[in-house]
Amino acid sequence: MLDKPKGQKFTEEAKAIVLEHLSDEHFGVSELADAMSMSRSSLLRKCKKQTQLSASQFIRQIRLREAMELLKEKDLTVSEVSYQVGFGSTSYFIKCFREHYGHPPGEVGKADFEEIVRDQSSSFLNKYKWVAIAVAILVCGGIAFILIPSHSPTTDVAQKTGLEKSIAVLPFKNESSDSTNLYFVNGLMEASLGNLQKIEDMRVISRTSVEKYRNSNQNIGEIASELDVNYIVEGSGQKVGDQVMLNIQLIDASTDTRIWGEQYTQELVDIFAVQNEVAKKIADAIEAKVTPSELEQIDKKPTENLVAYDYYLKAQEPFNRQTEEGLLEAIPLFEKAIEEDPQFALVYADLAIAYYYLDLYKKEKEYTETINNYADKALLHDSKLTESLIAKALYYMHIGDYRLAVPHLEKALEYNPNSSGVVNILSSIYSNALPDTGKYLEYALKGIQLDVADNDTAKSYIYLHLSNALIQSGFTDEALEYIDKAIELFPQNPYAPYLKAYIRYAKNKDIKQTLNAMKKELQKDTTRLDILQEVAKLHYFQKEYDSAYRYYKSYNEMKKARGLDIYPQEDIKIGVTYEKMGFQKEADELLKSYTEYCENDQSIYQPASMAVKYAYEGKTDLAIEQLEEFAAKNHFQYWILLFMGLDPNLQKLETNPKYEAVMQKIEDRFWENHAKLKETLEEKGLL
């Protein structure tokens, strides 16, 4: 008997293993690699070579084909089939099934059903039909532009009409015989990336996202696919004495062809002119619109002093590590740069940023004035420099004045619309310090377009973050899709199952199922304070005070033992539980703590918290007044809608004739904001 070809043997073995674990939603690429005794990278390369699919696509395709067979042969619901083939979310299964077969799974088995399999390597017309229609409309009707989501796959048509100009600048190669010149070559790459990021008409991937490809043997197509970009910039450089030689090229990732390239041999004094010219040539090659103000920023020289610039470049590697050791190594180099050029705004900004991160490692802040002074000097010498504005924003964050930080960060985005760092800071601010679910979600969606994680674990946390932002604004199906992706990439993510349990509650309102899921997570680590208080709270909502007390007691004891001051908004629930169990002294302390929390709270949730307090105290009219005030707030979390009515304190208000109406106002307000946000995000191509 003839041996099977190696490629066929590989795919059959891989398929058999996937089928063995078909119903396990956590069985993904890493698990398949382990089962085949291969490294993850080897599996990815082998799978791409033999199937023309990524490993995750290969696994998904097997699941979907088995789903088709089950739907045709067995009397099962779509939901039952989705779980049998390893999809934790029915909505995500339906989405994947429709994309693969061209119709929803519910159509299978109907009298007029006709199977239309979409072959992933040859379904160009179906996959890009809206692009084709857009071009037809442009030709026939003269419509100015068609909105296409920025993450849509690229076609030649899309490139020519400028619908997607996404680009990644790979780390440049050092071709100098002297390896110590690596810092200079890295500086050339950073400058090229920085100039491109100033162009709003492009989507430019962050430096941290491309760093893992410094020594990669992956081809351009694989890298572009992982980064979800259409264009790749490659470069190499060397510095010999006062001469700089730079070789740079722009590659169309879809065809792996060079569409622009140039070699430069310049005197060191002309290096800034070369860096600026490269950005303009790349923008021109992909037909990106560059505004006069963007040109002004690109043409700006950071310094006229090349010795100062050299010190600045030498500081970048330790500075970018953002460890205490690295920052302490970078600061003296920055200081030498300032000695050479006392007007070097970029260095003043980086010094402020360095001291900000140094203070993060200390319980007692000691660099507050230093951060402020350097930030002010940076703004004095260049008020339009992104780093100057970031530095001042970090100072305000350092002193806890987030409202003053925001305008500086927003202005920084005007000058550098591709700054993933600024986008991520804003997302974090609107998630916690200045709660606003709409802005939190908008910046989370922007961030995922610019900052592509360098490994599956990091990407899992990015998807977790986005899923959280989505569910807080009421986008339940989308949140479930991303939390499933987070779990698929990193099944050990400790927070993803926690969030998924609550997203499922948003869909089915099954509090018992949610409680069981939380207890399952608690069994993995009984010291998790976050889950302990969630389990207790779910019992509390069901007025199971004895069970709630058991978990709250453990939670309180651990919190005190660790000296933590967390979840102060939960103190009234814990206090009521202790009161119900006869521990009045402890209850009084907790209720006093909750009162202090309400009085000091400056967030949009303060009226809602006060309403709970007044309801507990029997001050019904005051509680209703606070709910009326809260009903006028915008962009509060979906959790408020889902759980406010379950609070035993607020249930005391149900006999008040105004209660039902004000609760309806709160619900109406939320969905009004949701609809407006959805429209805005769709207009911006973010959703």
CATH number at residue 399: 1.25.40.10
Compute φ and ψ for 239, nearest 5 degrees. Answer: -125, 120
For the segment 71-100, what is each residue's pLDDT rounded down to a tens digit? 887 778 887 888 888 887 676 677 678 777
Coil, strand or helix at 74: coil
Most confident of 131-135, 222-226, 471-475: 471-475
Residue 178 — very low, low, confident or very high, per pLDDT cuts 50/70/90?
low
Flag whether pLDDT at 180 surpasses 80.
no
CB neighbourhood size of 315 (10 A): 26
Residue 158 — very low, low, confident or very high, per pLDDT cuts 50/70/90?
very low
Q: Based on the fold, state whether residues 281 and 211 are members of the same structural domain.
A: yes
Number of domains, the chain: 5
Q: Based on the fold, state whether residues 661 and 520 are members of the same structural domain.
A: yes
Q: Based on the fold, state whether residues 535 and 667 are members of the same structural domain.
A: yes
Show which of 266, 282, 299 is a domain's final residue: 299
CATH number at residue 249: 3.40.50.10610
Q: Based on the fold, state whether residues 148 and 205 are members of the same structural domain.
A: no
Domain membership of residue 65 (yes or no) is: yes
Compute φ and ψ for 684, nearest 5 degrees. Answer: -85, 0
For the segment 647-656, what is each residue's pLDDT rounded down to a tens digit? 999 999 999 9
Lowest mean pLDDT among 21-35, 465-479, 495-509, 609-623: 21-35
Closest by CA to 170, choosing from 216, 119, 106, is: 216
- The amino acid at residue 465 is H
User: Alpha-carbon distance 554 to 528, whole Å?
Assistant: 10
Domain membership of residue 469 (yes or no) is: no
Domain membership of residue 430 (yes or no) is: no
Which residue has better confidence, 345 or 140? 345
User: Alpha-carbon distance 663 to 656, whole Å?
Assistant: 12
Q: Are 572 and 612 in contact (CB under 8 A)?
A: yes
User: Alpha-carbon distance 115 to 681, whole Å?
Assistant: 34
Domain membership of residue 293 (yes or no) is: yes
Residue 179 — very low, low, confident or very high, per pLDDT cuts 50/70/90?
low
What value does the mean pLDDT take over residues 5-31?
81
pLDDT at 364 (0 to 100): 80
Residue 177 — very low, low, confident or very high, per pLDDT cuts 50/70/90?
low
Residue 154 — very low, low, confident or very high, per pLDDT cuts 50/70/90?
very low
User: Alpha-carbon distance 183 to 189, whole Å?
Assistant: 10
Q: Based on the fold, state whether residues 140 and 243 are members of the same structural domain.
A: no
The pTM of this model reads 0.64
Coil, strand or helix at 25: coil
Q: Rounded to the nearest 5 degrees, what angle is found at the Cα of 260, between the Cα atoms of 254 and 265?
A: 140
Question: Domain limits at 571?
Answer: 506-681
Q: Based on the fold, state whether residues 87 and 182 are members of the same structural domain.
A: no
Show which of 371, 389, 418 is a domain's final residue: 418
For the segment 292-341, what is each residue's pLDDT rounded down to a tens digit? 888 888 888 888 898 998 899 889 889 988 788 899 999 999 999 999 99
Flag whether pLDDT at 5 surpasses 70.
no
Q: Under 8 Å CB-to-CB from 671, ≥6 apart: which residues?
A: 474
Domain membership of residue 591 (yes or no) is: yes
In the block, tokens 């429709």 appear at 98
Mean pLDDT, the chain, rounded, equals 83
In the block, tokens 């949701």 appear at 674
What value does the mean pLDDT take over residues 105-118?
56
Flag whether pLDDT at 587 surpasses 90.
yes
Most confident of 107-111, 133-137, 186-190: 186-190
Flag whether pLDDT at 634 surpasses 50.
yes
Q: What's the token pair of residue 252?
A: 């169309």
H helices of 584-658, where? 584-600, 606-616, 620-630, 638-643, 648-651
Q: Under 8 Å CB-to-CB from 207, ≥6 apart: which residues?
A: 190, 193, 320
Residue 510 — very low, low, confident or very high, per pLDDT cuts 50/70/90?
very high
Q: Rounded to the nearest 5 degrees, what angle is found at the Cα of 26, between the Cα atoms of 21 and 32?
A: 55
Q: Based on the fold, state whether residues 520 and 647 are members of the same structural domain.
A: yes
Domain membership of residue 499 (yes or no) is: no
Show which of 299, 325, 354 is a domain's final residue: 299
pLDDT at 239 (0 to 100): 75
User: Alpha-carbon distance 591 to 605, whole Å?
Assistant: 18
Strand partners, 168: 232
Which residue has better confidence, 256 or 625? 625
Q: Under 8 Å CB-to-CB from 223, ≥6 apart: which residues?
A: 168, 170, 213, 216, 232, 253
Q: Based on the fold, state whether residues 652 and 546 are members of the same structural domain.
A: yes
User: Alpha-carbon distance 492 to 586, whole Å?
Assistant: 37
Tell the burial category of 18 from Cβ atoms under 10 Å away from its Cβ (0-12, 13-18, 19+).
buried
Provide the b/e sequence for 519-543 (b: ≥16 CB within 10 Å): eebbeeeeebbebbbbbbbbbbbee
Flag whether pLDDT at 150 surpasses 70.
no
Which residue has better confidence, 566 or 48? 566
Domain membership of residue 513 (yes or no) is: yes
CB neighbourhood size of 162 (10 A): 13
Tell the burial category of 564 from Cβ atoms under 10 Å away from its Cβ (0-12, 13-18, 19+).
exposed
pLDDT at 474 (0 to 100): 95
CATH number at residue 75: 1.10.10.60
Q: Based on the fold, state whether residues 91 and 176 are members of the same structural domain.
A: no
Q: Are 455 and 427 in contact (CB under 8 A)?
A: no
- The amino acid at residue 370 is T
User: Alpha-carbon distance 305 to 307, whole Å?
Assistant: 6
User: Alpha-carbon distance 106 to 81, whole Å?
Assistant: 11
Which DSSP category does 570 fall into? G
User: Alpha-carbon distance 535 to 522, whole Å?
Assistant: 8
pLDDT at 453 (0 to 100): 62
Q: Based on the fold, state whether residues 229 and 284 are members of the same structural domain.
A: yes
Query: What share of the chain in percent tops pLDDT 70?
Result: 87
Q: Based on the fold, state whether residues 556 and 623 are members of the same structural domain.
A: yes
Q: Tally DSSP H helices, then E strands, for the chain.
A: 35, 6
Q: Based on the fold, state whether residues 611 and 513 are members of the same structural domain.
A: yes
Flag whether pLDDT at 105 surpasses 90.
no
Q: Rounded to the nearest 5 degrees, what angle is found at the Cα of 52, between the Cα atoms of 49 and 57?
A: 120
Strand partners, 246: 237, 264
Domain membership of residue 670 (yes or no) is: yes
Lowest mean pLDDT among 47-61, 127-141, 658-672: 127-141
Tell the burial category of 458 from Cβ atoms under 10 Å away from its Cβ (0-12, 13-18, 19+).
middle
